[in-house]
């Protein structure tokens, strides 16, 4: 392990999360047993997975419960184990609302689960659909999550389902075609949320915005096609397409807005 790693982390990396991953690596190496992390977003997964190379005799694999999952748990295990024998402790849950036509947002379900006392780090992907949602949770908290009986103002019934019923498909609430002066974060953010540039700057500088799951506090950060912008309390945006310039030199973009 590189000395002083926790003192020299790149901007946006959660030091507490890295410390917990390192603890799992030590446990797997020293005690020769399988350790599982909490859920990691793609940014932290990319950063922490290589850390296993700093410990003797261990390997890792990541599992989010279904193909295409964003958030995944790392399994860290002795290198003489077969990956096929490693099963991440995950549970897939289905939440059904009393109104089968109602589409609630990702944050509605997240807020309801956190309201049960569950820590966000034990909750994986949330996949809303008309009348409910699928969610992956750590098996350690599945029993508590099954107590969920209300989301927003709607009664709900929560049951465990086979993971193969889950799908990563998520349809955007809106698809926005627009032009911007540049691909600066504040410009695209303002366009996607329908707010002024100054309000977008406030969100970024207020530590409420992530790009590709990494905290960004520079309004002038340059985006590219495919970037995901997460705004705390406001959902997510995807800069799905970057086109050519207009005659006035503005850039054509397409932004997908998710709940």
CA dihedral 95, 100, 102, 103 (to 10 degrees): 50
pLDDT tens digits for 31-54? 999 999 999 999 999 999 999 999
Phi and psi of 163, rounded to 5°?
A: -60, -25
- What is the pLDDT confidence band of residue 204, given thresholds at 50, 70 and 90? very high
Topology of 90-165 in CATH?
Alpha-Beta Plaits (3.30.70)
Provide the residue ranges of all domains of the chain, joining segments of one domain with +. Answer: 5-85, 90-165, 174-258
Average pLDDT, the chain: 92
Phi and psi of 236, rounded to 5°?
A: -135, 155
Residue among 176, 147, 163 nearest 65 (CA): 163
Task: Indicate the helix (H) or strand (E) that contains 60.
Answer: strand 58-63
Q: Which residue has the higher pLDDT, 191 or 169?
A: 191
pLDDT tens digits for 143-189? 999 999 999 999 999 999 998 888 766 667 789 999 999 999 999 99
Q: Which superfamily does CATH assign the domain made up of 174-258 to?
A: RNA-binding S4 domain (3.10.290.10)
pLDDT tens digits for 58-116? 999 999 999 889 999 999 999 999 999 999 999 999 999 999 999 898 899 999 999 99
Mean pLDDT, rounded, for 15-43: 95
**Contact call for residues 96 and 156 (beta carbons, < 8 A):** yes
**Contact call for residues 173 and 142 (beta carbons, < 8 A):** no
Quick one: pLDDT at residue 193? Answer: 94
Task: Please determine whether the domains at 5-85 and 90-165 fall in the same fold group of CATH.
Answer: no
Quick one: pLDDT at residue 11? Answer: 81
Share of the chain above pLDDT 70, in %: 96
Topology of 5-85 in CATH?
Ribosomal Protein S8; Chain: A, domain 1 (3.30.1370)
């Amino acid at each position: 392990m590189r000395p002083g790693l926790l003192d020299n982390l790149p901007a946006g990396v959660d030091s507490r999360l890295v410390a917990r991953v390192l603890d799992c690596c030590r446990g797997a190496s020293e005690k020769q047993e399988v350790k599982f992390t909490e859920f990691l977003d793609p940014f932290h997964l990319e950063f922490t997975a290589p850390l296993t190379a700093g410990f003797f005799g261990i390997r890792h694999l990541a599992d989010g419960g279904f193909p295409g999952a964003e958030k995944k748990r790392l399994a860290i295990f002795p290198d003489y184990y077969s990956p096929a024998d490693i099963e991440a402790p995950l549970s897939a849950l289905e939440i059904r609302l009393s109104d089968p036509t109602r589409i609630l947002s990702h944050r509605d379900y997240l807020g309801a689960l956190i309201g049960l006392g569950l820590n966000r780090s034990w909750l994986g992907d949330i996949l809303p659909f008309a009348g409910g949602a699928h969610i992956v949770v750590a098996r350690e908290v599945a029993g508590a999550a099954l107590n969920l009986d209300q989301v927003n103002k709607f009664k709900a019934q929560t049951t465990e389902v086979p993971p193969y019923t889950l799908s990563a498909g998520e349809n955007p609430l809106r698809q926005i075609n627009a032009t911007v002066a540049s691909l600066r974060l504040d410009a695209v953010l303002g366009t996607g949320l329908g707010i002024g540039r100054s309000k977008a700057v406030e969100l970024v500088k207020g530590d409420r915005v992530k790009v590709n799951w990494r905290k960004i506090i520079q309004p002038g950060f340059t985006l590219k096609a495919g970037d995901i912008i997460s705004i705390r309390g406001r959902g997510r945006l995807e800069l799905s397409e970057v086109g050519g310039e207009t005659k006035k030199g503005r850039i054509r973009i397409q932004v997908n807005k998710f709940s």
